[in-house]
Amino acid sequence: MAEILQILILGLALGGVIALMGSGLSLVFGVMRIVNLAHPALIIGGAYITYLAFKAFDIDPIAMLPVAAVTMAAVGVVLYRLLFQREARSAKYSEMTVLLTFALAMMVEGLLGSLFTNTQRVTSPDYATAAFFIGDVFIPKGQLYAGLVSLAIIAALSLFLKYSRLGYAIRATTQNREAAELLGVNVQFISVLAFAIGIGLAGAAGSLVSFVFSFFPAKHWEWIAMLMSVVVLGGMGSILGTVVGALILSVVAAFVGTWIGATWSTLTFFLALFIILLVRPQGLFGEKPEMA
Amino acid sequence: MTVTLQDSSASAVIEARRTYNEKLSRKTDQTRATWFPLALLALLAALPLLQFVGNYNYVLHLVLFTASYVAMASSWNILGGFAGYVSLGHAVFFGVGGYFSGMLLARYGISTLITAPLAGLVAAAIGYGVGLVTLKVRGPSFIISSIALLMIARILFDNWHFIGGANGLTLPTNDLTVQWAKLPYYYAMLAIAAFTVWSAYKIKHSKFGLGLRALSKDEIKAESAGIDTRFYKVVAFALSAFFVGMAGAVWGEYLTYLRPNIFLLILVSANMVLMCILGGKGTIAGPVIGAILIVALNELFVATMGASEINILGTGLVMAIGLMFFPLGLVGTLARSGKLPRILNWD
């Protein structure tokens, strides 16, 4: 019993972080129909910002989170202007943007690789290796803090989307781009904004990831399928769905990892992605897909 | 009152249409330069003669490497270019082909040059099975599922001890001297590349190819026009896996070792996509031109800057620029503006 509880707690804590990693991906898809394959690469970008600050000035990774988020959001604005604005009218828009973000992912990987080499990095604040003990069950502090911060950020994002005027506009654009434009929403501006928030979330996730996982530039290929499976399970574009999907898959992966073997826990995500795409492409909370 | 069509007038119409069609096909025959790829092939076949006057192993390696990518990109083009399903997981079939023939070589000593077609068939069978499942979704979902396929295959190959796991497998080398050791693989890869390009041409000009192009434009309309789209797509997937598998088989013996991190690399898939996009998706000459360009560019990056990270950065950059400014590729863009030189018109 204690073992099951233990696995459950570890899975949920990691699930929180994965939810934050996926939420930006989901938001960007919802508003702009861009499947951003470069998202994990940009998360790693955020992780390197945090890592550098930690190594050079000993700044706590969680304290560094806002800086990483804002920096990456700025990067997001630039990327949107450079890459996606002109693609908006192309006939095969969604397919085009997938390939374009794929190219972007390679560029980010190559850039980070030539700047920082492909060595495994990790930030090591005190709490990264410490743990709470409740009876037999231990809760690693690093993962707990990261999970809690992630869920707090996602809660703030949900409140913003639900109650602010910009949030209305973003949700309206997600639901129906043309109708939103007709009702006076500046869809161009909302797209840039949502893209910046999405990439900003990647930066924020990067800060947390920096002490939860070890990372190197080529790591993002493992994450893309993992995040995709989370986002697709929840329903592309739904933030709540992403959280639920992340928690479910992360717990399942934790059980698979403990009972079957650590190498197979990542396989859970990939197989899940495969199965969900084929059985229920719109996911748990998604609308009927317009991907076709 | 019924209108009856007289036999004579009907046959006159058919006759007129036939002569018109013949005139058209004669015209395309005149603009097409079939002699050029044949001359190129003959030239490359004669290239190893250089070995008599010096050591040109590097040149042979480059041609062999390019030929392997010509085969793979042309093969990818069948699914990605003709049918419009972009797959980022085709490295899986490269790996399957390499490992299947490589295992036969390691266990029974049968050269991959003989078993390559078999490896292609195994890859095609797996492609058929995978296609049955993943071709239900299209657009971005299909692309994502193909990445997931590659990731799954990578984990399986990394942990399958029978085939050496992540450490891979060393294959026996042949007994030829250094001067001539590359030759068997050189000719095999050249033959595979030529066969692939020829097959792509034949497929494009068959009824099957016409169906593929129809379903890439609009699948629902194609379906209602009587095309069995599901069957067409799945067969296209299997075909495009076949040639990649063959190239993988020969490549494995040429390298003399098999390792998941050589074969099951997303960069390999990305290169196939990139070559087709850069050269021109859906054209015959496009993947060939693309392969030559990318290999040349790769060598340039490696020679001038060395680091493989720069290489990844460069590949991504070229891909992004190609996608944004020349979505039709070199051949496609030139053909649209009517400036395609005759020697590149192989369609």
Question: Are the Cβ atoms of B139 and A291 closer than 8 angstroms?
Answer: yes
Question: Are the Cβ atoms of A114 and B137 closer than 8 angstroms?
Answer: no
Question: Are the Cβ atoms of B158 and A263 closer than 8 angstroms?
Answer: yes
Q: Which residue, among B281, B38, B33, B74, has the nearest Cα to B197 in the 3D structure?
A: B74
Q: Does the pLDDT value for residue B94 go beyond 90?
A: yes
Q: Does the pLDDT value for residue B107 go beyond 90?
A: no
Q: Does the pLDDT value for residue B334 go beyond 80?
A: yes
Q: Does the pLDDT value for residue B75 go beyond 80?
A: yes
Q: How confident is the model at residue B291 (pLDDT cuts 50, 70, 90)?
A: very high
CA distance B72 to chain A (A): 18
A291 touches chain B (CB under 8 A): yes
DSSP-assigned letter for residue A58: -
Read off the tokens for B105: 């070589």
Question: Are the Cβ atoms of A111 and B134 closer than 8 angstroms?
Answer: no
Residue B317: closest C-alpha in chain A: A107
Enumerate residues 6+ apart whose C-beta is below 8 A from A74.
Answer: A196
Read off the tokens for B164: 């050496």
Residue A291: the pLDDT is 43
Q: Does the pLDDT value for residue B128 go beyond 60?
A: yes
Q: Is A282 helix (H, G, I), strand (E, B) or coil?
A: coil
Q: Does the pLDDT value for residue B258 go beyond 50?
A: yes
Segment B308-337 mean pLDDT:
84
CB < 8 Å to B308, chain A: 113
CA distance B310 to chain A (A): 6
Q: Does the pLDDT value for residue B304 go beyond 60?
A: yes
Looking at mean pLDDT, say which of A88-92, B26-30, B124-128, B205-209 comes out highest: B124-128
Question: Are the Cβ atoms of B148 and A292 closer than 8 angstroms?
Answer: no
Q: Which residue, among A86, A98, A48, has the nearest Cα to A68 in the 3D structure?
A: A48
Residue B101: the pLDDT is 92
3-state helix, strand, coil in chain A (%, to 5): 75, 5, 20
CB B219 within 8 A of CB B229: yes
Q: Where are the domains of chain A?
A: 2-219
- Residues of chain A numbered 129-188 and touching chain B (CB < 8 Å): none
Measured N-to-C along each axis, helices A187-212 and A2-32 cross at an angle, to the nearest 10 degrees, of: 150
CA distance A130 to chain B (A): 31
Q: Does the pLDDT value for residue A125 go beyond 70?
A: yes
Q: Is B325 helix (H, G, I), strand (E, B) or coil?
A: helix
pTM given for the model:
0.86
Residue A60 CB-density burial (10 A; 0-12 exposed, 13-18 middle, 19+ buried): middle
CA distance A218 to chain B (A): 10
DSSP-assigned letter for residue B172: P
DSSP-assigned letter for residue B258: E
What are residue A188's DSSP bridge partners?
none
Interface probe for B, chosen from A83, A84, A230, A277 (most Cβ of B below 10 Å), is: A277
CB A202 within 8 A of CB A21: yes
CB B90 within 8 A of CB B269: yes
Q: Select the more confidently predicted residue: B206 or A117.
A: B206
Q: Does the pLDDT value for residue B1 go beyond 70?
A: no
CA distance B302 to chain A (A): 13
**Cβ count within 10 A of residue A82:** 12
Of B145-154, B206-215, B327-336, the poorest mean pLDDT is in B327-336
Q: How confident is the model at residue B31 (pLDDT cuts 50, 70, 90)?
A: low
CB A36 within 8 A of CB A210: no
Interface probe for A, chosen from B143, B158, B301, B309 (most Cβ of A below 10 Å), is: B309
Q: B146-197: per-residue pLDDT in tens?
A: 988 998 898 899 888 888 888 888 888 877 777 788 888 999 999 999 999 9
Question: Are the Cβ atoms of A277 and B144 closer than 8 angstroms?
Answer: yes
Q: Does the pLDDT value for residue B124 go beyond 90?
A: yes
Give me the residue from B138, B323, B327 closest to A103, CB to CB. B323
A94 touches chain B (CB under 8 A): yes
Residue B195: the pLDDT is 94
Q: Does the pLDDT value for residue A286 go beyond 70?
A: no
CB < 8 Å to B144, chain A: 35, 98, 225, 228, 232, 273, 277
Residue B319: closest C-alpha in chain A: A103
Q: A3-60: per-residue pLDDT in tens?
A: 888 888 888 888 989 999 999 998 888 888 888 899 999 999 999 999 999 988 888 8
Q: Where are the domains of chain B?
A: 63-266
Residue B167: the pLDDT is 82
Phi, psi at A138, each rounded to 5°: -110, 145
Question: Are the Cβ atoms of B270 and A109 closer than 8 angstroms?
Answer: no
Measured N-to-C along each axis, helices B285-305 and B57-77 cross at an angle, to the nearest 10 degrees, of: 140
Question: Are the Cβ atoms of A94 and B88 closer than 8 angstroms?
Answer: no
**Cβ count within 10 A of residue B132:** 14
Segments of B194-283 assigned E as strands = 257-258
CB A191 within 8 A of CB A73: no
Interface probe for A, chosen from B158, B324, B328 (most Cβ of A below 10 Å), is: B324
Angle, vertex CA B144, rays to CA A28 and CA B259, nearest 5: 130
A280 touches chain B (CB under 8 A): no
Q: Which residue, among A105, A250, A158, has the nearest Cα to B316 in the 3D structure?
A: A105
Q: B50-74: per-residue pLDDT in tens?
A: 878 878 888 899 999 999 999 999 9
Segment A89-117 mean pLDDT:
84
Residue A197: the pLDDT is 94
The residue type of B69 is Y
Q: A148-168: per-residue pLDDT in tens?
A: 999 999 999 999 988 999 988
Question: Are the Cβ atoms of B327 and A264 closer than 8 angstroms?
Answer: no
A66 touches chain B (CB under 8 A): no
Q: Does the pLDDT value for residue A290 go beyond 60?
A: no
Question: Are the Cβ atoms of B147 and A111 closer than 8 angstroms?
Answer: no
Q: A166-195: per-residue pLDDT in tens?
A: 988 988 888 888 888 888 888 888 889 999
Query: Number of Cβ pairs closer than 8 Å across A and B?
Result: 138
Interface probe for A, chosen from B137, B312, B315, B325 (most Cβ of A below 10 Å), is: B312
Interface probe for B, chosen from A37, A86, A102 (most Cβ of B below 10 Å), is: A102
Q: How confident is the model at residue A289 (pLDDT cuts 50, 70, 90)?
A: very low
Read off the tokens for A2: 């204690």
Segments of chain B assigned E as strands = 169-170, 257-258
